[in-house]
Structure 1
Amino acid sequence: MQDIKETAQEVFYAVLPITAVVLVLQFTLIWLPLADFLQFMVGLVMVSTGLTLFLWGVQVAMLPIGEMIGSSLPRLGKSWLVVFFGLLLGFAATVAEPDVRVLAMQVDQVSGGDISQNILIYTVAAGVAFFVGLAMLRIILSIPITYLLVTGYALVFLLAAFTPAHFVPVSFDAGGVTTGPMTVPFILALGVGVASVLGGKTASADGFGLVALASIGPILAVMLLGIFYN
């Protein structure tokens, strides 16, 4: 019970600044209609409650199970299984990511349905999946992360020259939204679990960097989608 109290306290302090800013604006400058302001307050309570339950769930379930899966797969002695389930879990975690759905909804709305919500979600998820699988392979083969990051971003800037202009900012936003509350805990825990078995002396370093790699995937994937749409 103590854990959920601490989580609720963390959420309270996290939402306090934005609440304070809105309250100051409301009673000094913008003076929103009462119905809209009350809607904000009700939504704030719902968001705070949801975040508390979500973060508590991450602590008691997502992080432990991710690390257990990551440490169990290498013991099977088949490297391809580690990479395959890295792909699968990266895809599944991204599809469930709330931030990705918000971005997809906004792009669908702005494009008038030309870029459908589901197409963007699955494209972003495929990009994350590929690079999570690549990150698992990096741990297995002890490839320095610097090489992958430099190569990945070199491809990003090269591909940006051939991508329609309106897809470029969307692609970078897609990379950002994959660092949300669903994907990050699970992917990090998975990487730490795999590295704890395969990383050896470099386990503390190999367990991290997955989020940086995973965020490259959706950028490239959305850029390729833009070239396809063009």
Structure 2
Amino acid sequence: MDNIKETVLEVILSILPITVVITILQFTLVWLPLEMFLQFLIGVLMVGIGLILFLLGVNIGLLPVGEMIGSALSKTKMVWLIVFFGFLLGLVVTIAEPDVRVLASQVDQVSGGAIPRDILIIAVALGVGIFVAIAMLRIIFNINIIYILAVGYSLVFLLAAFTPSHFVPISFDSGGVTTGPLTVPFILSLGVGVVTVMKGKTSTSDGFGLVALASIGPILSVLILGVIYG
């Protein structure tokens, strides 16, 4: 019950500022049609209810399951299994990510179908999956994250030089949308679960950085897509 109250309060405090600002603008400068303003208020209510249910679902289901999967995989002591399921889970959770689908739909609409929605979703998901697998290898072999980030972003800027210019902003937006509300909790809890078993609870901070690595993958994959389509 306390968890529900905290979640409800958190959501109210999150959406209240934007609601107040838009309401002030409505009655001072903007003066939207009454019907549109009422639609906004109904939308705020629906978003609030959705966020409450979503956050409760994350806390009850996604976080514990992600951590337990990471722990169970680590107990097998099989590197290939940990890496493979890291890739697979990164792939499927990104396909389910709402932010990715919104971006893909917008790009498909703006480009007139030149960049197909499904192709972009698959490219982004593959990028996340590959870099989650690399993140698992980093944890297992204790590789410094700075080296991987340096190599990853060096490749990003190298590929950007050979990619059509309109693909570059799309690629960086693709990296941003993978830090959405579905992908981040699951990937973080997966990393913490792996580290807890392999290195002990005192080293759980090593499980962080997965999101930073995972966001590089979509940028690279969309840039490669740009080279292909370009």
After TM superposition, the score normalised by the length of structure 2 is 0.98
Counterpart position of 1:121: 121
How big is the shift at 1:76? 1.1
| Two-structure CA RMSD over aligned residues (Å) | 1.1
| 1:5-29 CA-partner distances (Å, limit 9, x unpaired) | 2101100000011111111111111
Number of residue pairs matched by the alignment: 230
Q: CA offsets per residue over residues 122-165 of structure 1, 9 Å max, x none? A: 11000000000000011111111110011101111111101100
Query: Paired residue for 1:174?
Result: 174
Corresponding residue for 2:51?
A: 51
SS where residue 44 of structure 2 aligns?
helix
Deviations 1:81-130 (A, max 9, x none): 00000000001110111111111111011001111211111110000000
CA contact (8 A) 2:195 2:201 kept: no
Q: Post-superposition shift, 1:206?
A: 1.6
Match of 1:72?
72
The TM-score, its normalising length taken from structure 1, stands at 0.98
Map 1:62-211 onto structure 2 (within 5 A). Answer: 62-200=62-200, 203-211=203-211
Aligned equivalents of 1:227, 1:201: Cα separation in 2: 43
Partner SS state of residue 162, structure 1 = coil
Which residue in 2 is equivalent to 1:16? 16
Write the distance in 1 (CA, Å) between the matches of 2:201 and 2:111: 49
Report how far residue 78 of structure 1 moved.
0.9
Match of 1:31 in 2: 31
Which runs of no fewer than 5 residues in structure 2 stay unpaired?
none
How far, CA to CA, are the matches of 1:4 and 1:123 in structure 2? 37
Separation in structure 2 between the aligned mates of residue 170 and residue 54 of structure 1, nearest angstrom: 27
